[in-house]
Structure formats: structure tokens, C-alpha cells
């Protein structure tokens, strides 16, 4: 096998080839490394190669068992620790901090047989919907290298879309799996709150908003990886009810006639690009053709209150990060704020003025918002919206040094007009790559499900993938 063969094979197929003796794990690793080395200079998706460690692991007989035995995999450089490497969060403040243990999620990846071959790029602290950190430089979109790959898991998505690996780890606190999945033409599912532990280092990131999982080329890879990694650790603040059947068994199973609510306008009053509106309407027609009951409707809530509370809440992401680093390094958070990127400095300056009572009150308001979405989804099986407010923007669109912090926050709210709801309510949601713009850029459609009900999403995603396959679509960098 050469690296030219890799883009056509998903994770499950690569594992089968090794299991059936059609290729060795060592040969697959060499082909993957060759593919990364060929494509990464253009995309800048992998920021820390782990090739020698991967070869040494195979020599020790590791990654030899499990459903994905010997298959190469990439890890986002945030939250998921890989022992013996730094977890930088794309920040200079953490660039030298080598961790001495695996996160539980990393341990589960290893038990499943996955072989980490590198770490992927993200925006600093994961606070933006793009991947353009000062520390590592921008990741470029394989569909158009002048455009963003999305974020914060933009390195992971660019690597998969660019054919380096068929699946890669990501995390999602405001859409950071679904955003780059939409920008790069991939499948991306954010699981239910507590579905995958963040232990042992974290109970959660902030208010239960962050969920880790993957971006993938195929629906079945996402389901199989969730089977391998779901479940809590003792002491977790949240946990999701275990599924009665495997997630993989849902892919290819008929979903039945679903009640699908469709919203094609921003509930926050922000602009939605006509191409995104056209994409979600086309997806709604496809769902109706497949026999589902489709209704144009939307949940009702106070959009102005959501906007103001969310802007305060999001300010706490960078603020919490700087306080945590300050405690670990015995440095002042104010001093540290002078060393971060302009957008995170803006968030810190805003967050430092927020009282603890404001944060707790806002969190309570979001709990009420969760009940609104819960009641809405009592009437519908899934909720269909655009994934994003626009197709992938040009690199520099979210540059707070150029545009100012508040203007970039406005752009954040416009771009992420649909993704943050599932994070605040703890709901599973997926971006499905069913549409492309006239310029050839991918546009995702988002489906949000009931709490704990990834199964319905996987059944629907499998049906959509069969009805309108996307694996044959190759971005220019991937094809080259």
C-alpha cells in the first residue's frame, strides 16, 4: 500500500486490512506518515509528529489488539493528554508543559488499538471557530487554502479532509467538532453531555459545555469510535445513560418515520448566508423524500437574553484558563494575559469584570433554556438547522488584533448562530456534509437530538449518507 491509497479507506476498513493480513500495521504506519509529510506542508494540520513513538510502540507489541488494532490516529492538542508530550492548547504559556500521564480518553483509544501518530492544530485555548494560532500558524482548508478549516478542531478536520487519516480526535465546547466538519465536508458528532469522560484531570471545562469525540470521513467510524470510548469515570460530575445497543449497530438501520423540526433562520437575529439557507432547505426536502415528517418551526426563547448571557459566559473560557495556568505556575493571571492572543486577552478583560454571582445566575438561566429545548424536542425527534451562519470564511476573518475583540465576538455569534445551543443544553448534535456552494465549498446541515439519543442521529445519518454519499468528493489538496 502507498500513501495514495489511504484517502479511500475509512478507519474500519484500515483495521480490517490489518486484521486479515492484507497489510501490516508497520506498512500502514509508513504509508500514513508519507501521506502526512506530503500534505501537511500545505495544510499545517499536524503540529507535533509522533512518528518515532508510534514505530517504537509497534516494536513493543502495542496497538496489537482491539477493534482498531494498529490503525494510525491523530489527537487534538487540547484536553486529551498523551503521556510524554506537551498539551499546549496552542498557547505559548503551555508550550513546555510535558504531561506524565494519558487522559482516560487517550487510554481508551489505546485499548481500542489506535496508534497516535501526531497532535493537531487548534486556536489558542479553543475559544474561536477557526484555527489560526500565533504559536503554530494557521491551518488551511483543503477545499480552498485561503479559507479557514473551522475550529477549534480545525487541524483534525483538515487532516481528515486532506486524506492523512480517516478519523481524528476533537473537542466541542461551542461547536468545535461540528464547525470544522461543516467547513471541511466531514461528519462530526458532538455527543450528549457526560457521554465521554474528561478525567482524570477535568470534571468538565466550563458549565458542562465541552464534549470530546471525533471528526470522521464516514458515519460508521464515528459510531464505532463512540462505542470504544463512551462511559464515565468515578467522580465525574455528569454521566449519560449507557446505550442499550452499540452505536455502530444503528448505522444502516432504518430510522423509521421521524418528526423533524426545521429552522432556516437565526434565532439570535444574526445574518445567515443564503447558501446556508439553501443547503438546509435542500436537506429538509431530502428528509421529506426519505419519508420523514418535516415541519418548519423553532423553539421560542428570549434571544436578547441568550446573547447577553452567552457573551458573559464565553468570556469565562479564557479567564478560567488564565487563572488555572496562574495557579499552576504561581504567576498573576493579569501578567499572563499580556502574553496571550488579542481575542483571549479581550475575553479575559471582560471576564475579569464578571462577578461569581453573575456567572452562577447565567448558568441557572441556561439550565432553564435547556428545559425549553427539552420540551421542544418532546414534540420532534430531531431539530434541523444550518450548522453555521456562513460557508468557511477567509483566513483572518477572526483576527482580533486587526478587527478588535468585540467585533470578532460579533462575528463569532454570527458564524456560530446554531451550534452553541446543543453545548449549553448538553444535547447530542451532528453536522452532516450534504451540500456544497457554487464555489465548491462544503456546507453542513446540523441535526440536534434528544439528550442521550445519539442512536437516532446515527440511524438518520446512515440513511442520509446512503441517499447522498459524500466520500467520493475530494477537495483539491486531498486529490493532489
- pLDDT of 368-421, one tens digit each? 999 999 999 999 999 999 999 999 999 999 999 999 999 999 999 999 999 999
pLDDT band at 478 (very low <50, low <70, confident <90, very high): low
DSSP string for 352-414: TTS-HHHHHHHHHHHHHHHHHHHHHHHH-SEEEEESSSSSPPBTTTT-HHHH-HHHHHHHHHH
Question: The cell 462505542 sits on which residue?
Answer: 227
Q: Annotated catalytic residue: which of 103, 148, 149, 152?
A: 152
* Per-residue pLDDT tens over the stretch 419-451: 999 999 999 999 999 999 999 999 999 999 999
Q: Annotated catalytic residue: which of 103, 153, 176, 266?
A: 176
- Active site annotation includes 249: no
- Active site annotation includes 76: yes
3-state secondary structure of 100: coil
- Active site annotation includes 152: yes
Q: Write down the pTM of the prediction.
A: 0.98
pLDDT band at 224 (very low <50, low <70, confident <90, very high): very high
**pLDDT number for residue 479:** 57
**pLDDT number for residue 480:** 57
Per cent of the chain over pLDDT 90 is: 96
**pLDDT number for residue 4:** 60
Between β-strands 442-449 and 429-436, what pairing exists: parallel, antiparallel or unpaired?
A: antiparallel
35 Cβ contact list (under 8 Å, min separation 6): 3, 6, 7, 163, 164
- Which whole number is the average pLDDT over 64-87? 98
pLDDT band at 91 (very low <50, low <70, confident <90, very high): very high
Is residue 359 over pLDDT 60? yes
* Per-residue pLDDT tens over the stretch 121-176: 999 999 999 999 999 999 999 999 999 999 999 999 999 999 999 999 999 999 99
Integer Cα distance of 20 and 23 in angstroms: 8
**pLDDT number for residue 119:** 98
Start-to-end Cα distance in the chain:
17
* Per-residue pLDDT tens over the stretch 136-148: 999 999 999 999 9
Is residue 3 over pLDDT 80? no
**pLDDT number for residue 352:** 97
* Per-residue pLDDT tens over the stretch 161-218: 999 999 999 999 999 999 999 999 999 999 999 999 999 999 988 999 999 999 999 9
* Per-residue pLDDT tens over the stretch 264-283: 999 999 999 999 999 999 99
Is residue 1 over pLDDT 90? no
**pLDDT number for residue 155:** 99
Task: Yes or no: say if 243 and 249 are a contact pair by the CB < 8 Å rule.
Answer: no
**pLDDT number for residue 204:** 87
Radius of gyration of the CA atoms of the chain, in A: 21
3-state secondary structure of 316: helix
Amino acid at each position: 500500500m502507498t500513501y495514495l491509497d489511504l484517502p479511500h479507506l475509512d478507519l474500519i476498513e484500515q483495521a480490517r486490512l490489518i486484521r486479515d493480513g492484507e497489510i501490516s500495521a508497520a506498512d500502514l504506519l509508513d504509508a500514513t506518515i508519507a501521506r502526512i509529510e506530503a500534505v501537511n506542508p500545505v495544510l499545517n494540520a499536524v503540529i507535533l509528529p509522533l512518528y518515532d513513538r508510534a514505530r517504537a510502540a509497534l516494536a513493543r507489541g502495542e496497538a496489537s489488539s482491539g477493534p482498531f488494532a494498529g490503525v494510525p490516529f491523530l489527537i487534538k492538542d487540547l484536553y486529551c493528554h498523551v503521556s510524554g508530550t506537551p498539551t499546549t492548547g496552542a498557547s505559548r504559556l503551555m508550550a513546555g508543559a510535558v504531561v506524565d500521564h494519558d487522559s482516560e480518553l487517550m487510554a481508551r483509544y489505546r485499548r481500542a488499538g489506535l496508534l497516535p501518530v501526531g497532535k493537531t492544530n487548534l486556536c489558542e485555548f479553543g475559544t474561536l471557530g477557526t484555527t489560526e494560532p500565533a504559536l503554530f500558524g494557521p491551518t488551511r482548508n483543503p477545499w480552498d487554502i485561503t479559507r479557514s478549516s473551522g475550529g477549534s478542531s480545525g487541524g483534525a478536520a483538515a487532516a481528515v479532509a486532506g486524506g492523512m487519516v480517516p478519523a481524528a480526535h476533537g473537542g466541542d465546547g461551542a461547536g468545535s467538532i461540528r464547525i470544522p466538519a461543516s467547513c471541511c465536508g466531514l461528519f462530526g458528532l458532538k455527543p450528549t453531555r457526560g457521554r465521554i469522560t474528561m478525567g482524570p484531570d477535568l470534571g468538565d471545562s466550563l458549565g458542562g459545555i465541552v464534549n470530546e469525540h471525533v471528526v470522521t470521513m464516514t458515519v460508521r467510524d464515528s459510531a464505532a469510535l463512540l462505542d470504544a470510548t463512551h462511559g464515565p469515570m468515578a467522580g465525574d460530575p455528569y454521566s449519560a445513560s449507557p446505550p442499550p445497543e452499540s452505536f455502530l449497530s444503528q448505522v444502516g438501520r432504518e430510522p423509521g418515520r421521524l418528526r423533524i423540526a426545521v429552522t432556516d433562520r437565526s434565532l439570535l437575529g444574526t445574518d445567515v448566508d443564503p447558501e446556508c439557507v439553501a443547503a438546509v432547505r435542500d436537506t429538509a426536502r431530502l428528509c421529506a423524500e426519505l419519508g420523514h415528517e418535516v415541519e418548519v418551526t423553532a423553539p421560542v426563547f428570549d434571544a436578547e437574553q441568550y446573547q447577553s448571557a452567552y457573551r458573559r459566559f464565553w468570556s469565562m473560557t479564557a479567564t478560567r484558563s488564565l487563572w488555572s495556568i496562574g495557579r499552576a505556575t504561581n504567576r498573576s493571571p493579569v501578567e499572563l494575559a499580556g502574553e496571550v492572543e488579542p481575542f483571549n486577552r479581550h475575553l479575559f478583560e471582560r471576564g475579569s469584570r464578571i462577578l461569581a454571582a453573575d456567572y452562577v445566575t447565567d448558568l441557572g438561566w441556561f439550565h432553564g433554556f435547556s428545559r425549553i429545548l427539552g420540551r421542544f424536542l418532546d414534540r420532534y425527534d430531531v431539530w434541523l438547522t444550518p450548522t453555521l451562519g456562513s460557508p468557511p470564511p477567509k483566513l483572518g476573518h477572526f483576527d482580533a488584533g486587526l478587527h478588535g475583540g468585540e467585533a470578532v465576538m460579533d462575528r463569532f455569534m454570527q458564524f456560530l448562530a446554531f451550534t452553541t445551543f446543543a453545548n449549553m443544553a448538553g444535547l447530542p448534535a451532528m453536522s452532516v456534509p450534504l451540500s456544497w456552494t457554487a464555489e465548491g465549498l462544503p456546507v453542513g446541515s446540523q441535526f440536534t437530538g434528544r439528550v442521550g439519543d445519539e442512536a437516532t442521529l446515527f440511524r438518520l445519518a446512515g440513511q442520509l449518507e446512503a441517499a447522498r454519499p459524500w466520500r467520493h468528493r475530494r477537495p483539491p489538496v486531498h486529490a493532489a
